[in-house]
Amino acid sequence: MKKILILSILLVAVLVPSFAQEVLNIHHNGQVTYEAPVSDIDSITFSQGSALFATDNGSQTFSFADIDSVTFVYNEDTSLSGGDIYITYNGTSVTVINPLESSGVAVTTDNANVTVQAAAGIMDINYHVSGSSTSGYLYITSDRRYNLCLEGVSITNPAGPAIYSVVDQKVHVYLSGTNTLTDNASSTYKAAFQSKGQLIFGGTGYLTVNGLAKNGIHSDDHIKINEGNITVASAVNDGLHCDYFVMEGGSLTISASGDGIDGDEGFVLVEGGTIQVMAAVADTKGIKCDSTLTINGGNVTIVCSGNQTKGLKSAQSVVISGGTLNITASGSTVLESTTEGNDPAYCSAIVADQDIIITGGDITLTLPSSNHGGKGISSDGNVNISGGTLQITTAGAGAAYTVSGSTMDSYSSSCIKSDGTTTITGGNITCSSTGSGGKGIRSEGDIIIGSLNEADSNLILNVSTSGERFTVSSGGGGGWPGGGGSSDYCNPKGVRSDAAVTINSGIITVTCTQNNEGGECIESKTIMTINGGNLTITSAYDDALNAANRLNINGGTIYAASSHNDAIDSNGPMYITGGLIIASATSSPEEAFDCDNNTFSITGGTIIGTAPSGMYSNPTTSACSQHSMKYTHAGNNAVQIIRNSDNTVLLTFHVPSISGGGSSPWGGGSSSVIMTFSSPEFTSGSYTLKYGGTISGGTNFHNYYTGATYSGGSSKTFTVGSSYAITSVN
């Protein structure tokens, strides 16, 4: 009955001219096993239980047992579109079902070697590949784009690629089941899975690639991953190499001896999915490209354990606006020999030859103690951070090295390093450096923190360093104090700019806990300007704030303290026009405000300074438009309050404990405290100073109280004259 039914259908198809644009399909076991335009069929011959279809392009014979049904599909185009070809590997042989043979798609086999030549203009042919062979390959030549369906296949080619798309056509790769592709170490081709055209991955299956000769997966065009689970288990060179790379979804795991993902001269764009890269070989990159490297989403984990490796590396810019990024860079620094001498090459997390721009994302960068001198973020251009959560940790010690001859230099780790301008206006950022000479934020250009008139809560910045300075070259007699010369040190810094530092807003905490000099919290080699922000700046040994040429404070709420040096130090003039500034120095002869007897101008703001008795930079009378008071406490750790003649409270403050002593050419110091106070409300007139009592309630900002109640203690009165000369209270 089946034969009669098939025969009748075929006769109708052949005899009716209106089927000229109809396609005949033969089905068996749910698959299309033959496809041809009806107009191309010359004749159908039945003989001994089989049917022979003769077309313009040849003939195909099927047994009746292999024909379940025949259908006709209307095609508006006279050319074919789609179709299914089945390639099944069976060890040293291959089974092929090719219904498009009569349409110009040739599939030839030689043992387990399969060559496809599709030159009939057929678009979107589906090549279903399954089975297993340890001595085969699949090479496909097509003049139109096609779909490669890997459906549980394992191919090992002992001579070249397991799969090679020979021409520049787009290939959609659909993954189902578990698939493995392996080449041979002797292969002269580029990869175990190689394509001259685009590779676009989809499906929910798995693909493992072993690139024993060069790359794991290589495209002369681009690679895009929409779905699927891809593992490059090994690659002698790069895991993935292409003109540019896009990740939309799925998962990608790479362990390579070269770069993990190399976007070559193009870009890299990660918008979704999961990427894990292991870069264990020296001087490799987790993800790199010569154009812009962008991460907008997804989850990226990179482990760089090779010396001078890089997590992300762009020859242009790195842009991060979303996603989760976790990079561990544990490799060390290598001294490379150049024509000018030795030059250090670092193992760093994020590196760009131009700018690094971060507007969002959850970023964790870890450089453990094995990483000496590496950078969390390193830009040859500018660094601009306006959002996201960043946790950057460096723990490796710095080192001195010989550049050439007797010329010495040094390197040390930095959480953020820029050769241009560093701008941080938003986000939640933590930088921690514990290695010797380590830097939190280091910029050769300006450092700009926060934005004018923005809420401080838009930026939370925490910077800490604890590593000590180390000697780069010895001067023979040591440094200060005295001794016949000075040594050159690599000093740790919290925030350091070779140019200007400007702080506009933010909740900013900088802590340096060194036991020796060199560890300033915030340092500018030119001008430091503070316009706003909520700052808590504390140094265990060196200056809290230090400006080489000039210091301007126009606003903000600032607490600056140093245990062994100046709280706020300017080597040039100091101008204060606004804000609340509390400065505390606790070791003689250091000062709360030190401007080396240059102009010290106070024209606004509330200023409270405490320091041991000794040298002191006084406000410059001719440069001030606001009164100041100077008072020496015979003891310390005392509570005091200042009221005017109307009994209005101008100041409620708990004087901090001063240990006195200290080592200096001026002697051992004392336990007394010099306090400086200035406020716009502190005008000429009579005042009462109460001290030695107790404070209850209110709000406390580093011993400065608002809304508190004072009781007990002693009192004294004093008068402020019309001159802006500092008033001394005895």
- Listing DSSP states for 260-327 in one string gives SEE-TTS-EEE-SSEEEEEE-STT-EEEEESS-EEE-SSEEEEEE-STT-EEEEESS-EEE-SSEEEE
User: Phi, psi (5° rounding) for residue 270?
Assistant: -115, 115
pLDDT at 74: 54
Grade residue 617 by pLDDT with cuts at 50, 70 and 90. Answer: confident
Higher pLDDT, residue 80 or 455: 455
Residue linked to tokens 């303290």: 561
Domain co-membership, 344 together with 463: yes
User: Looking at the predicted structure, is the pLDDT value of residue 661 above 90?
Assistant: no
Residue 662 pLDDT: 40
Q: Which of 45, 25, 50, 28 is nearest to 36 (CA)?
A: 25
Across residues 609-625, what is the average pLDDT?
Answer: 83
Higher pLDDT residue, 300 or 729? 300
The confidence score (pLDDT) of residue 339 equals 87
Q: Which of residues 44, 74, 104 is at a domain's end?
A: 74
Whether residue 535 is found in the same domain as residue 634: no
Tell me, what's the pLDDT at 81? 60
User: What is the average pLDDT across 639-665?
Assistant: 76
Is the pLDDT score of 155 beyond 60?
Answer: yes
Q: Measured between alpha carbons, how far is 114 from 137 in angstroms, rounded to an integer? A: 6
Q: What is the pLDDT of residue 660?
A: 52
In this structure, the number of other CB atoms found within 10 A of the CB of residue 721 comes to 10
505 and 654 fall within a common domain = no
| 479, pLDDT greater than 90 | no
**340 in a structural domain:** yes
Q: Is the pLDDT of residue 394 over 90?
A: yes
Out of 48, 74, 100, a domain closes at 74
pLDDT of residue 681: 94
Work out the percent of the chain whose per-residue pLDDT is above 70. 91
669 assigned to some structural domain: yes
> Does residue 123 lie within any of the structural domains?
no
- Determine the average pLDDT of the residues in 174-201: 97
- pTM of the prediction? 0.88
With beta carbons less than 8 A apart as the criterion, state whether 388 and 365 touch. no
Neighbours of 587 (CB within 10 A): 22
User: If you average pLDDT over residues 426-443, what whole number do you get?
Assistant: 97
- The answer to whether residues 628 and 726 touch, using CB atoms and an 8 Å cutoff, is yes
Instruction: Clarify whether residues 299 and 436 are in a common domain.
Output: yes
Does 413 reside within a domain? yes
Q: Mean of the pLDDT values across residues 393-409?
A: 94
* Predicted local confidence at residue 277, as pLDDT: 98
- Same domain, residue pair 518 and 636: no
Nearest one of 160, 157, 167 to 190, comparing CA atoms: 160
- Tell me the backbone φ, ψ of residue 8, rounded to 5 degrees: -65, -40
Nearest 5°: CA angle at 709, between 706 and 712? 135
Q: Is residue 103 part of a domain?
A: no
Please determine, for residue 20, whether its predicted confidence score (pLDDT) is greater than 70.
Answer: no
Residue 425 falls within a domain, yes or no? yes
Structure tokens at 482: 């005295």
> Which residues, 6 or more positions from 151, have their beta carbon under 8 angstroms from its beta carbon?
128, 129, 130, 176, 177, 179, 205
The pLDDT assigned to 614 comes to: 55
- Residue 176 has which token pair? 């189902």
Per-residue pLDDT at 239: 98
CA 7 to chain CA mean position, Å? 68
In this prediction, residue 509 has a pLDDT band, given cuts at 50, 70 and 90, of very high
476-481-486 Cα angle (round to 5) = 30
Domain membership flag for residue 211: no
Q: What is the rounded CA–CA span in Å between residue 193 and residue 201?
A: 13
Edge-to-edge strands of the sheet including 22-28? 31-37, 22-28, 69-74
* Long-range contacts at 17-20 (CB < 8 A, ≥ 24 apart): 19/72
Indicate whether 386 and 499 sit together in one domain: yes
Average pLDDT, the chain: 89
**Which pLDDT value is given to residue 31?**
66
Residues 310 and 426 in one domain: yes
pLDDT in the model for residue 483 = 40
> In this predicted structure, which of 269-273, 348-352, 626-630, 688-692 has the lowest mean pLDDT?
688-692
Statement to judge: residues 350 and 469 lie in one domain = yes
Q: Based on the structure, what is the number of domains in the chain?
A: 3
Q: Is residue 193 part of a domain?
A: no
Residue numbers of the domain that contains 423: 279-400+409-475+488-542
Residue 12 has pLDDT above 70, yes or no: no
pLDDT at residue 460, rounded to an integer: 98
Tell me how many degrees the CA angle 634-638-642 measures, rounded to the nearest 5: 95
Q: Judge if 529 and 676 occupy the same domain.
A: no
pLDDT at 34 over 50: yes
Q: Given this model, what pLDDT does residue 23 score?
A: 74
Neighbours of 668 (CB within 10 A): 10
**Closest Cα to residue 287, out of 346, 236, 322, 240?**
240
Q: Do residues 632 and 534 both lie within one domain?
A: no
- Do 510 and 634 fall within a single domain? no
Rg (CA), the chain: 38
Residues 6+ apart with CB under 8 A from 533: 449, 450, 456, 503, 504, 505, 506, 507, 508, 556, 557, 558
Tokens found for residue 648: 């209005």
Q: Average of pLDDT values for 501-509?
A: 98
User: pLDDT tens digits for 218-272?
Assistant: 999 999 999 999 999 999 999 999 999 999 999 999 999 999 999 999 999 999 9
Could you say which of 13, 48, 74 is where a domain stops? 74
- Do 670 and 524 reside in the same domain of the chain? no
